[in-house]
């Protein structure tokens, strides 16, 4: 019996000033092991009762929508989800399920997946290409959606840089993190971010790592979202003091990201200690950049 393994990377979005613009794929993966079935069967590792409910499982919802989009009836599927990307932590766990559902649907139905097809389905579930594209394509991507079109480009990301992510033991939904954002910002704050996003991309291109600390500052979302994350400023400060080149919120949070080319363990532990000061347990991971995106393997048993 053939099984299909779909592996989708985690993502970190924004990277400071690139709010709703920049996304980066990380070597942390959710696996979806699927095989044909006349019913819907879901196993999760670690066990998650919410995800084992077909009506609430995002992968199943997207797979159904993909079959509908392709004009085919959804009969069922057996799926084993191995979830390594933590939920509601700003590491793109929802994007992994959306991408896996679309890719699975096109693969099983032997159809080529185009950008147009991908966005037509994906945006029904999440309208954020900065999260979706790195999960699908891998690497470092800048993206925007304008009316019915999505424009994006892959940017070179230096091989010697790693992401150190500190994941606190509390969830923060994207919806809640967006509620705290203002409807408008000052021209001064807008200029602040435009300057830094340009500096960030040029600093990476020219390996001017000394510029990354300033280039990862932000005034459009972090000043508002940090109120939801105890000791946020100290976590950032500890990362920089321990050798991080720059640090920011990962996506909508609650994870905090540091970019570094050395002292990875020290950076992770120092960020962890800042959370510990306010009674929050956390874990840190040192992650390389994923440059391959979603991978499909056929497993013969």
CATH number of the structural domain 2-155+290-300: 3.30.230.10
- 162-287 CATH pick, 1.10.150.80, 3.40.50.1110, 3.30.70.890, 3.40.50.300: 3.30.70.890
Q: What is the model's pLDDT at position 203?
A: 97
In Å, what is the CA distance from 223 to each residue of 180, 220, 277?
A: 10, 7, 21
Q: How far apart are CA 91 and CA 93, in angstroms?
A: 6
Indicate the domain borders of the chain.
2-155+290-300, 162-287
Q: What is the 3-state secondary structure (H, E, C) of 246-299?
A: EEEECCCCCCEEEEECCCHHHHHHHHHHHHHCCCCCEEEEEECECCCCCEEEEE
Q: Is the dihedral of CA 120, 122, 125, 129 positive or negative?
A: negative
Q: pLDDT averaged over consecutive 10-residue blocks of the chain (301 residues)?
A: 89 96 98 92 89 91 95 90 91 96 93 95 94 97 92 96 95 83 95 97 96 97 93 97 97 93 97 96 97 92 63
Distances (CA, A) of 77 to 109, 122, 297: 13, 20, 17
Q: What is the pLDDT of residue 263?
A: 96
pLDDT of residue 173: 79
Handedness of CA 79, 84, 85, 88 (dihedral sign): positive
- The separation between CA 98 and the C-alpha centre of its own chain, rounded to angstroms, equals 12
d(CA 36, CA 92): 27
């Amino acid at each position: 019996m053939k099984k299909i393994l779909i592996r989708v990377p985690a993502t970190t979005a924004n990277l400071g000033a690139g709010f709703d613009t920049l996304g980066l794929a990380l070597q942390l993966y959710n696996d979806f092991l699927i095989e044909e079935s006349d019913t819907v069967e879901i196993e999760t590792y670690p066990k998650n009762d919410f995800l084992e409910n077909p009506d609430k499982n995002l992968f199943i919802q997207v797979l159904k929508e993909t079959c509908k989009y392709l004009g085919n009836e959804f009969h069922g599927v057996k799926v084993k989800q191995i979830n390594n990307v933590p939920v509601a932590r700003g590491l793109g766990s929802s994007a992994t399920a959306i991408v896996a559902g679309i890719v699975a649907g096109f693969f099983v139905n032997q159809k080529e997946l185009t950008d147009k097809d991908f966005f037509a389905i994906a945006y029904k579930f999440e309208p954020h290409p900065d999260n979706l594209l790195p999960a699908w394509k891998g690497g470092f991507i800048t993206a925007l959606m304008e009316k019915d079109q999505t424009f994006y480009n892959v940017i070179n990301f230096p091989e010697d840089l790693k992401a150190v992510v500190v994941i606190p033991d509390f969830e923060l939904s994207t919806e809640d993190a967006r509620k705290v954002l203002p409807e408008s910002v000052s021209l001064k704050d807008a200029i602040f971010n435009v300057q830094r996003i340009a500096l960030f991309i040029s600093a990476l291109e020219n390996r001017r790592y000394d510029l990354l600390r300033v280039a990862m500052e932000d005034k459009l979302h972090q000043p508002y979202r940090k109120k939801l994350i105890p000791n946020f400023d100290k976590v950032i400060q500890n990362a920089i003091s321990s050798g991080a080149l720059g640090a920011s919120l990962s996506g909508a949070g609650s994870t905090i990201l540091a970019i570094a080319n050395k002292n990875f363990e020290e950076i992770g532990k120092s960020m962890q200690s800042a959370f510990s000061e306010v009674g929050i347990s956390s874990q840190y991971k040192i992650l390389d950049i994923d440059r391959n995106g979603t991978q499909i393997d056929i497993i013969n048993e």
